[in-house]
Each structure stands twice: as C-alpha cells, then as structure tokens.
Amino acid sequence: MKEIMAIVRMKKTGATKKALVAAGVAGFTAVRVLGRGKLVDDPTELEKCKRKLLEMGMDEISDKQDTEQVVTEFLDGSRFFPRRLFTVLAHDDDVPRIVEAITKANRTDYGLGDGAIFVLPVLDAYRVRTGEAGEAAIW
C-alpha cells in the first residue's frame, strides 16, 4: 500500500478531482494548505518569470504596486501561497496510473509552481465502518 500526497495549485483543484475519479480512485482527501516550492535563483530566469507573472496579474482593476509586491514576494521566497493537498491511499500497482493522472491535470506552461507529488509506504489501514484491514480497507 502507498500514500500519494499531491500539492497542487488551487485553480487545479477541480481538474485534479476529475483526474482522480477518471483514474478509478475510490476515495481521497483534499485540504487547503499554505506553502512554497523551490526558489528560482538564476537572475535571467527570475526576470523572465517576473515579467510573465506581472503580465498575468495586471488588469484595469489591479493596483500595479500591489501586484509587483506580490510577484516579488513570490519570487524571493518571503510569501506562502495557498495550495490544495490531496491524499490518496492506493495499491502499489495503481500508483503509476494515479501519479500520471495528477501530473497531466496539473502541468502548466508557467515554468514554475505546478506542484509536487510524494509517494510514501503505508504500513496498515483500517475501515472503521466494516472493520476491514490492510489492502481491503483502501478500495
């Protein structure tokens, strides 16, 4: 048995739920979390990311100074961002299919911030309602 933990963008919550259902996942948990990923340290790449993010964040309603501050704090690591954490228990053989479904649902062309997936061993599981244990308790 494995536990799959996937941290995804908030805007990808619906797509991730649909992907998990389409992959045949019997059940999963999702919670709102705050965090940040790997920092970009290449100055050229930082400037490119900053320009791209400013273009995405600017509209006729947004305050330019506020938008620049949010983008700068995102890129320098001083700000946490809301994300969604999905937790799935799966049989070992199902893990590649589930990871692929999550990956396809969350990959973007932004170049950063698409999320992370972790796979951990699970020693045992119990279904409270039926008393099932082990592999039988997860599907």
More confident residue, 114 or 93: 93
Residues 6+ apart with CB under 8 A from 94: 24
Structural domains in the chain plus CATH codes: 1-36+81-139 (3.30.70.120), 38-79 (no CATH)
Segment 84-105 shows an average pLDDT of 97
Q: Is the pTM above the cut of 0.85?
A: no
Q: Which residues pair with 89 in a beta bridge?
A: 3
Q: Tokens 């890129």 identify what position? A: 75
Residue 22 has pLDDT above 80, yes or no: yes
Residue 93 has pLDDT above 80, yes or no: yes
Inter-residue contact 6 to 85 (CB < 8 Å): yes
Predicted local confidence at residue 76, as pLDDT? 73
Inter-residue contact 102 to 16 (CB < 8 Å): yes
Predicted local confidence at residue 32, as pLDDT? 97
**Distance of alpha carbon 79 from alpha carbon 70, whole angstroms:** 8
Predicted local confidence at residue 51, as pLDDT? 78
Residue 109 has pLDDT above 70, yes or no: yes
Task: Output the average pLDDT for the chain.
Answer: 87
